Amino acid sequence: MGRSCDFLFALAVFILLIHVHTSVSTVPNISNDEAALLAFKSHISFSPNNILATNWSSSSPVCTWIGITCNSRHHRVTTLDISSMQLHGTIPPHLGNLSFLVSLDISDNTFYGELPEELAHLQRLKLTNVTSNNFTGVIPSFLSLLPNLRIVLLSDNQFFGEVPSSLSNITKLQVLGIKGNFLVGEIPRELGDLRYMTFLYLSLNQLTGAIPPSIFNITTMQVIALANNNLTGELPMTICDHLPNLVGLYLSRNYLDGVIPPTLEKCRKLQILSLSINEFAGTVPRELANLTSLTGLYLGGQHLGGI
Ligand SMILES: *[C@@H]1O[C@H](CO)[C@@H](O)[C@H](O)[C@H]1NC(C)=O
Ligand SMILES: *[C@@H]1O[C@H](CO)[C@@H](O)[C@H](O)[C@H]1NC(C)=O
Ligand SMILES: *[C@@H]1O[C@H](CO)[C@@H](O)[C@H](O)[C@H]1NC(C)=O
Ligand SMILES: *[C@@H]1O[C@H](CO)[C@@H](O)[C@H](O)[C@H]1NC(C)=O
Ligand SMILES: *[C@@H]1O[C@H](CO)[C@@H](O)[C@H](O)[C@H]1NC(C)=O
Ligand SMILES: *[C@@H]1O[C@H](CO)[C@@H](O)[C@H](O)[C@H]1NC(C)=O
Ligand SMILES: *[C@@H]1O[C@H](CO)[C@@H](O)[C@H](O)[C@H]1NC(C)=O
Ligand SMILES: *[C@@H]1O[C@H](CO)[C@@H](O)[C@H](O)[C@H]1NC(C)=O
Ligand SMILES: *[C@@H]1O[C@H](CO)[C@@H](O)[C@H](O)[C@H]1NC(C)=O
């Protein structure tokens, strides 16, 4: 009995050593980042004279490439910012190998196709900005697997389908921008669980149904932009009970009805209130005059009296 225990112990140590040995020799390093970026480069068709075409070359160190920042401690790629470089191409799965990536900004180009699921491996990612490209597909559900995301900007693309309720699992999310896509369905009430949200941009889609009251419950919220959708229903009288920091409320060009809540005066910091081209009735509440920070008030295009 004692003998076989010794034997098993020795075997366990042996296996452990082999495991440590193999995992040391396969620890990813900057060469893996370089391979991932060169794979990405091969999926980009460049506009004439594009600097990236020559700059991203194995003959110079990855960390000196344009748009790349590395951290000094691990010597790995942490930032990829190739915004506004007139690039045209697709995102290969290899980008998911940039395991130290914190910030991904490929905005304002003409990348197309879908965002690959392998991006779910980017567990350190805090910022994703793919605004103003030609991406398609549904809003990727893998985003909810990235627990460190603070900023997700997918605006002005060709994403379709619904706003996934799983986004509410990105508990640190502060900025969510999906304006200017082809989103349908209702705004998930689960978004109200995002306790650090400051900017929510869902304008210029085809969203329907009522605005879930839960999003008026996020006390950190500064801007709620839901204009140019097909939203219906009334605004709750409690709309401003928990929005002490709201500076912008953009709800114009929807099908909202009922009265304009006089309680909007409780959003003390409100600077822009845009409610035009809806189906509100009644009079403009005189309480709105109490909003001393207001610089823009847009109410036209409905059946209101008493301005
Ligand atoms: C990176 O790892 C590979 C093995 O995966 C190894 O061959 C190479 O020498 C390493 N490079 C550096 C810079 O550590
Ligand atoms: C790549 O671009 C960076 C930033 O402009 C520059 O510092 C570097 O020298 C360039 N490298 C090559 C090989 O062109
Ligand atoms: C990088 O990613 C690709 C595609 O996901 C994969 O096939 C490849 O094995 C990865 N390479 C390394 C070195 O991790
Ligand atoms: C995201 O990209 C857009 C378009 O390039 C840019 O205007 C915006 O400042 C970027 N935002 C962040 C937080 O990177
Ligand atoms: C974007 O995609 C749409 C449809 O997929 C296509 O018609 C359009 O030409 C694309 N635009 C650019 C600039 O690639
Ligand atoms: C959030 O994540 C948990 C655990 O992974 C999962 O059970 C739940 O369904 C997710 N919530 C949403 C709204 O997807
Ligand atoms: C939104 O309303 C427009 C008319 O204003 C209509 O053409 C469109 O089909 C509606 N979309 C949805 C998803 O209800
Ligand atoms: C608002 O938050 C409070 C507590 O944080 C909660 O009890 C209430 O149900 C929430 N209301 C909505 C509409 O989500
Ligand atoms: C808000 O406006 C109403 C009506 O104009 C007025 O009676 C009230 O005193 C004001 N409240 C505050 C807090 O200024």
Q: Which CATH number do you get for residue 260?
A: 3.80.10.10
168 lines ligand 6 (CB under 6 A): yes
Structure tokens at 94: 């290899």
Is 38 a member of any domain? yes
Is 275 a member of any domain? yes
Residue 170: how many CB atoms within 10 A of its CB?
Answer: 22
Nearest CA to ligand 9 atom 13: 290
Q: Which domain, by its residues, includes 54?
A: 32-298
The answer for residues whose C-beta is within 8 angstroms of residue 4's C-beta and 6 or more apart is: none
Cα of 102 vs centre of ligand 1, distance in Å, is: 22
What is the signed CA dihedral for 110, 178, 249, 254, rounded to 10 degrees? 100
**Ligand 4 atom with least separation from CA of 83:** 5
Residue 306: how many CB atoms within 10 A of its CB?
Answer: 8
Is 6 a member of any domain? no
Is 68 a member of any domain? yes
Structure tokens at 119: 């991006």
**Ligand 2 atom with least separation from CA of 60:** 13
Place of tokens 């409320």: 249
Is 15 a member of any domain? no
Q: How many distinct structural domains can be found in the chain?
A: 1
- For residue 73, what pLDDT is reported? 83
190 lines ligand 6 (CB under 6 A): yes
Please answer whether residues 267 and 290 qualify as being in contact, where contact means their C-beta atoms are separated by less than 8 angstroms. no
Query: C-alpha angle 120/173/203, rounded to 5°?
Result: 100
For residue 47, name the pLDDT band (cuts at 50, 70, 90): low
- In percent, the amount of the chain with pLDDT more than 70 equals 89
- For residue 66, what pLDDT is reported? 95
Please answer whether residues 270 and 247 qualify as being in contact, where contact means their C-beta atoms are separated by less than 8 angstroms. yes
Of 10-19, 98-107, 259-268, the poorest mean pLDDT is in: 10-19
- For residue 304, what pLDDT is reported? 65
Q: Higher confidence at residue 121 or residue 14?
A: 121
Ligand nearest to the CA of 166: 6
32 lines ligand 3 (CB under 6 A): yes
Instruction: Give the single-character DSSP code of 259.
Output: B
Average predicted confidence (pLDDT) for the chain? 90
Is 11 a member of any domain? no
Residue of 138, 143, 146, 166 to mutate, ligand 6, most atoms within 8 A of C-beta: 166
69 lines ligand 2 (CB under 6 A): no
213 lines ligand 8 (CB under 6 A): yes
Is 278 a member of any domain? yes
**Assign residue 252 a region: left if phi > 0, alpha if psi is -120 to 50, beta otherwise?**
beta
206 lines ligand 7 (CB under 6 A): yes
Q: What is the pLDDT of residues 53-90, one digit of tens each?
A: 889 999 999 999 999 999 988 899 999 999 999 999 99
Of 81-90, 95-104, 296-305, the poorest mean pLDDT is in: 296-305
Is 93 a member of any domain? yes
Nearest CA to ligand 9 atom 8: 287
Q: Is the pLDDT assigned to residue 17 strictly greater than 80?
A: no
49 lines ligand 2 (CB under 6 A): no
Cα of 179 vs centre of ligand 8, distance in Å, is: 26
266 lines ligand 3 (CB under 6 A): no
